Chain A
Amino acid sequence: MKTVPAEPKGVDSGPHFMDGDQAIAEGALAAGCRFFAGYPITPSTETAERFAERAPEVGALFIQMEDELASIAALIGAAWGGRKAMTVTCGPGFSLMVENIGLAAMTETPLVIANVQRGGPSTGLPTLTAQQDMMQARYGSHGDYAIIALSPDSPQECFDITVEAFNLSEFYRVPVIILTDETVGHMHEKVVIPPAEQIQVVPRNNYSGPKEDFRPYKFDCQGGHPMARAGDGYNFHITGLTHDERGYPVMTAEQSKIVVTHLMEKIHGNADKIIRLDEDQIDGADVVVVSYGITSRIAIKAIQDARKEGIKVGSLRLITIWPFCEKRIRELAPKIKAFVVPEINYGQMVLEVERCAGGKCETISVNHCGGAVHDPEVILAAIRKANQ
């Protein structure tokens, strides 16, 4: 990925004491996001507030839309108008966005959506934490497509991951979803925003060659293909229908194979480059705790207590949720007794872990219906059970 230093006016360098939601807004501005369209919803509103407050001084545009359907549609338009664009929401709003997430994936439109998860289903628990939208983020829209999703565990990582989300989104021209949660969203910690020259961002890859040669798409299963800005005089077509490299509809099984393979493989074929994991004491472990977001910080307490009891337990924290770290789970499964997967849902990512473990070791789900974080004792009990 070609990167350049961040534009200084978007970067509020220095140490701050801020919450995760605010750090997402700062990460977006640092990454060059200059368009935000959203509809306020707890517990994500602080991101919108921060972005709106900072937008005039940075030269960004903030629009409060009539709803979430309009918000994501505006993002698609803004992206093709040349802006880096983002929105923020939580479960109920995300549900309204899924149709156009499919359109963004199909039209290979870069945009970033932060989902600050709260308890569901439906309007559920507006003010309380959850991790229940993990599968929805991946499979919410219809048809075969792939997205990238990242999960931060602290306000600092909210900043860092948002910059990364924009970079991945620009390069792979794909919606990137930040799957955080109410706890991290509202937790205040020190966030150090580096000087602009130390923040590497992927600039919008605008096409500048001969007009007749421009193709908005290239179905080569790779990222890095340029876009043209609407209004700059390039003739191309954008549609949700299956299309050719000029963007015009070609609705055949043969073309579908070309397009869908590209959409899937540009992400899954580059999974090794995209995936980031945070591993601790995995070598020689008998039990590996797979966790993400706030739950990984709750699990740490259980892991530390288990180690005091002499249990060899490692930690595998998913920073990248999607694409899923299949290869790593397959490598580890034959070497350990069990995976323990705590998450604030009824068991979602555990399904992926279990699938990739392929029966080579046990997989233990430590589920939680939302509204609070786990009691670390419950995770500790699962680790003990896994070690038997």
Chain B
Amino acid sequence: MSTQEIRFSGFGGQGIIRCALITGKALSLYDDKFATMTQSFGPEARGSACAAQLVVSDERVLYPYITCPGILLALSQEAYDKYWSELPKGGILIVEQDLVKLSGEHPDLVLMRVPATRFAEELGNRLFTNLVALGFFTAVTKVVTADAMKKALPGLVPDRFLKINIKAFEKGYEYGINALSAGGGAS
């Protein structure tokens, strides 16, 4: 049985929970996997720390929490500072490169950086940051297929913003593919 544990993190308002919902829906409805999503749930406000966890498996997920996340998506400094050290050797660390100042080189990790907020602003609104990040995440982790992710969007983003969200996803995805062919996270 292959199991993958993923943590999505950032600050409230970035669409972190939505990232996990989209990925979980894509995996369990369109990629024939089992996915369990749990989230930090509290009286949080926009701007405070926020995280969601996804356990992905070929079989039914019994234990619903992550114990050793292999992938961390960190869209804020606080999220990066708090969670990066959870990653094991070879773990994938994806950070928002304009928002996260790295505390080291992380030679033991696969470090990938994406200017998701900047790309989203170029598309017209930083609200699309999470979809750019998800596109990048999809390309570099290969945990989920791009096709499944796009199929998962209706119902999870407002209808009138579906096209632009797909565009944001594709922007991030393309950047991720290029980053991979360039041989790593350097950008």
Interface residues of A (CB under 8 A from B): 15-17, 43, 126-128, 182-183, 186-190, 294, 297-298, 300-301, 373, 376
Contacts and interface: CB of A to CB of B under 8 A. Distances in A.
Nearest to A373: B65
Given A189-B28, A189-B37, A297-B64, 17 more contacts: A17-B35, A43-B41, A127-B42, A128-B42, A183-B38, A183-B64, A186-B38, A188-B20, A188-B21, A188-B36, A188-B37, A189-B34, A190-B29, A190-B34, A301-B63, A373-B65, A376-B63
B185 to A, nearest CB: 29
A188 B24 contact: yes
22 contacts: A17-B21, A17-B24, A17-B29, A43-B41, A127-B41, A127-B42, A127-B43, A128-B41, A128-B42, A182-B41, A183-B38, A183-B64, A186-B38, A186-B41, A187-B36, A187-B37, A188-B36, A189-B28, A189-B36, A190-B28, A190-B29, A297-B63
Contacts, number: 56
Contacts of B36: 187-189
Contact of B29 (A15, A127, A183): A15
Interface string B42-57: 1100000000000000
Main secondary structure of the interface of B (DSSP, over half): mixed
A128 B43 CA distance: 10
Nearest to B43: A127
Contacts of A126: 43
B62 interface: yes
Contacts of B34: 189-190
B62 A297 contact: yes
Contacts of A16: 29
B141 interface: no
A190 B35 contact: yes
A373 B63 CA distance: 11
Interface string B6-38: 000000000000001100110011000011111
Contacts of B41: 43, 127-128, 182, 186
B39 interface: yes
Contacts of A189: 24, 28, 34-37, 61
A17 B25 CA distance: 5
Nearest to B28: A190
Contacts of B21: 17, 188
A16 B30 CA distance: 11
A190 to B, nearest CB: 4
A152 to B, nearest CB: 13
A182, A189, A297 interface centre (most CB from chain B within 10 Å)? A189
Contacts of A188: 20-21, 24, 36-38
A126 to B, nearest CB: 8
The 5 tightest CB contacts between A and B, nearest first, are A17-B25, A190-B28, A188-B37, A301-B63, A300-B62
